[in-house]
């Protein structure tokens, strides 16, 4: 999704991007990856545990590689959840039928998602958290119909920290925007964290400022216009 956005904006030069919830930092130019800045993929033993438990629980997985998102729906409900994620993010998943056997031997994922119904969220989160035994980061997605699984220690805050250190940028001079639980570390790390109006209270408490606008009201764009006095 970020590649499409950067292509539309067309900065005219490579842009450093932190993506996959902070797991990877890359230089992107007109929607194409130029080179890697850092890479913190999910370890192979965690990948195997996630795929094994998901298969045992009959749940659909999304597997994130640089060339796209792979998903393994096997029934109508799985396909409905995959479509719902597509409608939420605009991402187009690539469907696999071999439980990721081929793609898993090609590259390790930046992150993995388990899609589920809202009423199954608590049980899904508890089961995968217990299975990982603190070897991976497991948390609820926003909105709550999926959980995310990352390498232990990976989050957006750490991703921005890695990017700033690699490029010699003072994080205290950075402004960050967020609305989800997975934005909390990021909002706390940068010099000024701006939280969208639609965020949960726990996220609002992590920022320095709460916007009067939501994502649907173009809250980030409106704040940037104000910040750079473009209004």
pLDDT average per 10 residues of sequence, the chain (231 residues): 73 88 89 83 95 96 92 97 94 91 88 96 97 92 92 96 96 95 94 96 96 94 91 64
Query: Does residue 104 contact residue 47 with C-beta atoms inside 8 Å?
Result: yes
Q: Closest Cα partner for 167 from 25, 32, 31, 66?
A: 25
What pairs with residue 16 in β-bridges?
27
C-alpha 172/C-alpha 158 separation (Å) is 14
Structure confidence by residue, pLDDT tens digits, 47-95: 999 999 999 999 999 999 988 899 999 999 999 999 999 999 888 999 9
Residue with tokens 């980061």: 137
Q: Where are the alpha helices (DSSP H) in 101-200?
A: 101-106, 121-132, 156-167, 184-189
Residue with tokens 């709550």: 144
C-alpha 6/C-alpha 35 separation (Å) is 15
* Predicted model pTM: 0.82
């Amino acid at each position: 999704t970020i590649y499409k956005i950067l292509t539309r904006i067309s900065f005219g030069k490579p842009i450093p991007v932190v993506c996959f919830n902070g797991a990877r930092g890359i230089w992107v130019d007109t929607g194409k990856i130029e080179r890697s800045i850092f890479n913190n993929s999910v370890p192979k033993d965690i990948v195997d545990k996630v795929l094994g438990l998901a298969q045992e629980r009959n749940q659909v997985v999304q597997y994130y590689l640089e060339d796209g998102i792979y998903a393994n729906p096997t029934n109508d409900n799985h396909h409905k959840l995959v479509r719902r994620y597509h409608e939420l993010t605009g991402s187009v998943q690539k469907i696999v039928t071999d439980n990721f056997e081929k793609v898993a031997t090609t590259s390790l994922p930046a992150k993995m998602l388990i899609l589920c119904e809202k009423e199954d969220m608590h049980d899904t989160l508890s089961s995968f958290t217990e299975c990982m035994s603190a070897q991976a980061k497991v948390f609820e997605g926003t909105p709550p119909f999926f959980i995310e699984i990352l390498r232990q220690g990976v989050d957006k805050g750490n991703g921005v920290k890695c990017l700033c250190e690699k490029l010699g940028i003072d994080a205290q001079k950075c402004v960050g925007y967020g609305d989800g639980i997975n934005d909390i570390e990021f909002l706390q790390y940068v010099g000024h964290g701006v939280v969208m109006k639609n965020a949960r209270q726990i996220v609002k408490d992590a920022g320095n400022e709460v916007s009067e606008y939501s994502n649907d009201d173009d809250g980030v764009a409106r704040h940037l216009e104000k910040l750079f006095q473009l209004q």
